Structures are given as structure tokens and as C-alpha cells.
A and B are shown apart, each in its own frame.
Chain A
């Protein structure tokens, strides 16, 4: 299933990388970022103290005053609730506004995914989709499949439209097993 996921992700222009430790994750991000990073508060990323690792790797991390910094930030870093193998889709419970700012405005989106949190397809995701709706009264849920794209000029596919121009999925075993946790 993981192979299916990474193949589908690559077909839509996303990149997958395997990281074993938080240090490797921070190093990967540091190697691919070119400016400030938005890091909204998320349980799985806090558990591994990603912010400290990123700062140690020399990355400037924004953890508050999102609206002020979002437009100028180069990248956003998030966890992933779970992913869909057949389409290479990331599911992010993005009701907190910071999560949306981090995944819409910057040029680059880094997403840390536990490869154990994979479902076959969107049909298998329906119970969780319903679960999100049952657990909170208001929701903003995002299915993200690759970087933003357009074919609006002469039908030529162009990767990177108004949203992120790059999507990096860092596959990190042991990050989280909870499909409702980001």
C-alpha cells in the first residue's frame, strides 16, 4: 500500500522521502527550505519536538501571529491525519486556521506522515470523514493531492498555481497511530 501511495504521489508531482528520526526530518526540511517556516501546533509534531530540531538545524520557525507571517513565509510544516494510497492523497483536519494558512500561502508544504496511517482509497476514508464531523461541530477538512496546479492557459499542465508549488511528504514510522491526530 505504501508503494501505491508513493507512486500515486509522484504521479501528481509530490515528493516522498523516508526519515527515521526527527533529526533527519529537520535536516530534510532545512535542506529544502528557503526562508521562514510556519509550524502550527500539532500533537504529533510537538511530541517529537520538531520545532526545536528545526531551529537547531538553522531554520527560522514561526509559531504564532500566523496572519502576519504567513504571506511572507516560504514553507508550512504539518502532520497528516492519514493518507489515501490509490490517489496519493493526504487528509488534514484543518479547522484550526493556522493549519490552513500553513498549507495555502507558502510555496512549499512539508507533511510528516506515519506510513502506518494509510487507507486504500476515499471509500475507506468515509468512516473517518464521518468521525471528524461527529467529534467537532465545525470543520474544515482538506484532501490534498500533490501541489497546486492549473491547466487554464492552453490546457498546459503547470505545477504550482495559487497554493504550494512543492509538496514533500516525509514518511516517518512511529510518528503517530491515531487517525484523528495531526
Chain B
């Protein structure tokens, strides 16, 4: 990894974190967005709509050559010229040459991310042509000499006083920072530009093969002026914007504004086909279809779903990392989750390297993507590629390859660490301060001590009192439950025994492999998957029960993917996936065990934190709430209950502890606001993070796993 690149990136992270105004703005925007979006989809089946978009876009990818030919034929029959640009340079050269040949001195532009992608303004200005951005947000950042920090709202990072200062420079007088007034100023200042421009440049949201026309989805009205007044119109359109028919285009139109801004429809949808009338003659229309890495993306089986993107920007709106650092950090030209992927293909892996690590993996984006893209999955793949290209670091490589894969060595080293930590734990379960180089690790959260005796070592002495068990289940504990929180295992046995279930602990189980996989070491992840499959299936259990949803996702999803092409292992991986289940769901859905915990009097006011991999991975969120409410707890909902806590495994230790800290603080505030005395969750990773934050800030709120509260209720 390039050190200079990383240093520069770290500086930008620090700058963003030092700007609470930006974070507050992005947080309140995110909150308002969720509400507006929900209203916009009222009465509609988002899931069905997005699957339809995804399937349609996949057809477009498969048939792209035919569709480009059809689009070109129809557009040219209507008097347009179509040029397919293989690279950004080709696109810029075509447009610049055209402008020079036509004697254009000034171009008026409406918003186009494709032109940001190719740095078109720079190319035009180098050729001596003035460029005028007419979208309000784009004009603001043009005046500020910046780049967009959001795909739909380019100047979302700026404030009214900053805009007023920029506009004052243009008008030569002090402009008030009243927003209505500033919008007025922009309207008046940009007016003349449309008339003076010899060329209008737009993007397009859809390019419709059936008609050879393009469609623009806009709000401000400037795109209509840009495509009407100048004599020449150039539309720069990414190849992924192709859709086969008007039906397909209408479907994109129905989902795009709803998901982008929570609008049922934007003020304007403009359908343009061919050289329409302009002044006394016809318009000259050029459509530049931009490849610039899209064909390469289409050829990547792991990443190609990213071509389904309709550029709504929702993945940024809901992203806790974006809300914390903004698009100038978590983005290159394209921002947020989709930006990570598009940057890798359009602007090179080098420019995407830091962004690939900046994703915390919470899958909030996946839940709202209107094209059904598994953004997190693709980012993980890119992390693997990067691991192979640049290495994952000597330390990590050593740990994963030589220690983790050797279970006995790995586990004896954790046991040794349990002894070594004694000077800092002072015999307590939480580490509040660490000395010297490690002090930053406990600056904002306490860390749990490694247990004196891991769960595996005390298993034999755990009494199991089940006659004629209903089920025999194997417990996959995961590293945290095994070595850090063995008491959760005791509670699991207690609760499941009470429900007539016998629990086995296969000793050969090892780390689920997520830390290696998420760091880009696929080889170690495969080795661990094989070890764990053998271990967990050995006793032929009825179910494999987990307390950690990240382990659940690993056993249910990642093992399948890692071993799908291996004839020896693929079937076993399927067997394991089919019987793996998290403990809350097991108790509710399989055992129908709610009644066992019934309690009349109120035990405690509890709020529930949805762990990312449990809710958006395993699809479980109702069951733990039912169990808590059913066992006599007053369950109060916190705001943003399913927002990531900022743990993210190594994300909060080594890769981005500074961002993780901010995300945790948001969570602590949300928990505190409920007035609950206990926050429940179903993930030991979240417990480590949230309990650590609560303890460090000396809050009197307990952080507990649902299984622990159920065990308490049996006492």
C-alpha cells in the first residue's frame, strides 16, 4: 500500500472528523431521508420493484452490444449523432473537438456525474472554453473549486454562509445568507448563460434503445434550459444507463426519485429523441455513450451487479461512515458504497484502496439499494483483490496464515494472552486503560478481558439436565463467546436445557474466518470453513446454534460461496448452512418457546439494538423483541435501532477506530435517550463495542445479550 496515499487519506479523515457541523448536517439529512423515503414507497412493493430493476439491468448487461446498436440506429434515424467513447479521454476529446470546430466559447452544463467522472470541465477549459455549471449545487462547488460530495446533492457538505460568501464574490455585493434569496441570486446570475452558451451539455438518467431517446430526471429546470436554448446539445451518458424499452425507462423513473430524495416524482422528467427544433432550425444533438471501465465491470462476475446502479445516492444517505466523514472522504468521484466499486473500475484500484477499507460492512446500503445490488459483498471481494495485489500487511498475514489456520496454536496463544493481560486487567472483566502504545485502544471504550477459562475448557464441567431431549444442537460459539464471554455459553446451555434441548460443543471448531475474509485473506477463510464444517457436522446435530450473527452469516452464506466450486466441500457447506440458526430465532421459530419465560410483573426497561448481520444478514429482528417483551421486559425502541454500533471487527481496532468511535457515540446517545436501564442485543461484537462505550462514559446502562436476559428470567 502506498504510504503517501494513505497519509493523505488519514489527513482527510481527521479533517472531516473535526467538523461536527458536517456530521450533524449529514445525520439530520439521513433521518429526514428515511421518513421521506418510507412515505414515498407507501402502498408500493419496494422489494418487487427493485428485483424487477435488477433483472432488467442484468438483461441490459448481457445484451449491451445489441442494445447499443439499437439505440444508435434509432437515435441516428432521428437526426442525432452517437459516439461510443471507450475512455474518459476519448469522450472529452470528442466533445472538446466538437466545441472547437463549432467555435463554441462557452458551454452551459446541467448536472452530469459522467462529466465529473471524465473531468470534462478541465478538458474544455484547457481548450479555452468556458464552462458554466447551472445546477445550483454544481454551480456552488464550481465556484468553490471543489468536487461533489454526494451524487444527487453535490454541495450537501456546504452551508448557507459559505454559499453566500461565494455568491457575493460573483455579484460584487454582500448577499444575505437567506436560502430563498440565494436560490434567487443563482437563478438570475445563470439566466444569461443559457443564451450565451453555444453548447449545452447534459447527462441522462436513461437511454432508451427502443426509441433512441434519452430521459432526464430533474428538479430545478436548468436541464430543460440547457437542452433547449443552445444550438448544440451534447448528452454524455454512461453505457449502464441503457434500458430496452419505454416500460423499463418508466420503471426506473418510478423508483429513482422515491429512493433518491423521497419524492414521488421530480419536477421534471424530460424525454428527448433526436434533433428537435431549435430557434429557426434544428438542434444538433450528439450522444456520447461512455464506456470507461464499464465493459471491464460487465466482465467481472463478482462485481458486475454494480452496473445495475441507477445513481440514486441512497447508499450514501443511510451509510454511518458517510454520515460521519462525508463524501470527500468516503468517495473519489462517485461516493459511498457504490462509489467504492465504481472508483475501482473507472478510476483504478489505487484510488479505491482506502475506500475499500472504509466500509464498515453494516449492509445498511444493501437494504435500500433500488437495484438490489449486494454492495457489501462486492466491496468484500475488492478487499480480497486488494489483499492479493497489495498484500494485507505482514502482521495480519502472519496471524491469519500461520496462527489462525492452526487451531491448537491459535487457541493456546489466546490462553497465553489471558495470562499476559493480568497486569492491565487487575483481575477485572474490563480493561479500562492500556499502557504505552496501546493506550489509544481504550481511550473511548473499555475492552473486555480475555476470560481466564474459555468456554471450551469448562464445557465438560457444565451440567446438562435434559432427559429425552427434543433436539440435540451443536453450539458454534465463535471466538468472542468462547474466549471473552464464556458466561453467554453457560446461559445458552441453561436456557436451551430448560426448553428441552441438549447442547454439544464440538471442540474442533475454530474462528469462523470472517476476520481473515474481511481483511482480504480468502485462502485462510477457505481453510477455516473446511475445519468448521467438519467440526460442526461431526456429531450429526439437529441444528447448529449461534450467538453471533456474523458467525451465522459466515456459516450460512460465506462458507457456501467460498466452497461452491469445490466438489468435496460444496455439499457439506450446504448441509451446514441449512441447519445453522441464531439462538433467538431458534427459540421462537423452532421451539416456540416464548411462553416458557412468561412473566406478569415488569422486570426492567430494555431497549433493543439490531445488529447489522442479524437484521440485514439473517433477517431476524422480531424474534428477540418478542422474547424480551414476553419475558416481562418493557421494551422501548431507540431511534436508529438498526444503525451500526461502529464495531465492525478490525474496523474499530486497526482500520478506522476514529470513525468507529464516532459511530459508537451516536449509538450511546440513542440508547441513553430511551431511559432504559438495559440495552439488549444478539451479538457479542456489538456487546464489546456498546458495553465498552457505556462503561467508558460511565453510563448506568447494562449491555446484555438476549440469551443472558432470558437466563436471568429463569432465576
On A, residues with C-beta under 8 Å from B are: 8, 12, 67, 71, 86-87, 89, 95-97, 100-101, 103-105, 122-123, 125-126, 129-130, 133, 137-156, 158, 160-164
Contact = CB atoms under 8 A, between A and B. Distances in A.
Contacts of B253: 122
A129 B220 contact: no
Nearest to A11: B264
A122 B206 CA distance: 16
A86 B264 contact: yes
Given A143-B269, A143-B270, A161-B221, 10 more contacts: A97-B276, A100-B224, A130-B246, A152-B155, A154-B25, A155-B32, A160-B187, A162-B225, A163-B221, A163-B267
A148 B276 contact: no
CB-based closest 4 A-B pairs? A163-B221, A138-B274, A152-B137, A148-B221
Given A130-B246, A152-B136, A160-B183, A8 B268 contact: no
B316 interface: no
Nearest to A125: B250
A71 B271 contact: no
The prevalent SS among residues of A at the interface is: loop
B190 interface: yes
Nearest to B156: A155
Given A139-B213, A148-B219, A164-B221, A129 B271 contact: yes
B267 to A, nearest CB: 5
Interface string B239-273: 00000001100100110000001001111111111
B277 to A, nearest CB: 5
Contacts of B266: 145
Interface residues of B, number: 61
A158 B182 CA distance: 10
A148 B225 CA distance: 12
B211 A140 contact: no
A129 B180 CA distance: 35
Contacts of B140: 152-153
Interface of B: 25, 29, 32, 77-79, 134-137, 140, 153-156, 158-160, 163, 179-180, 182-183, 186-187, 190-191, 195, 211, 213, 219-222, 224-225, 227-228, 246-247, 250, 253-254, 261, 264-279, 282
B32 A150 contact: no
Contact of B270 (A140, A156, A164): A140
A161 B79 contact: no
Contacts of B272: 139-141
B299 to A, nearest CB: 33
B160 A144 contact: no
Given A87-B265, A153-B163, A104 B224 contact: yes
A141 B222 CA distance: 16
A139 B271 contact: yes
Contact of A153 (B32, B179, B191, B278): B179
Contacts of B156: 155
A126 B247 contact: yes
A125 B159 CA distance: 40
Nearest to B272: A140
Contacts of B158: 153
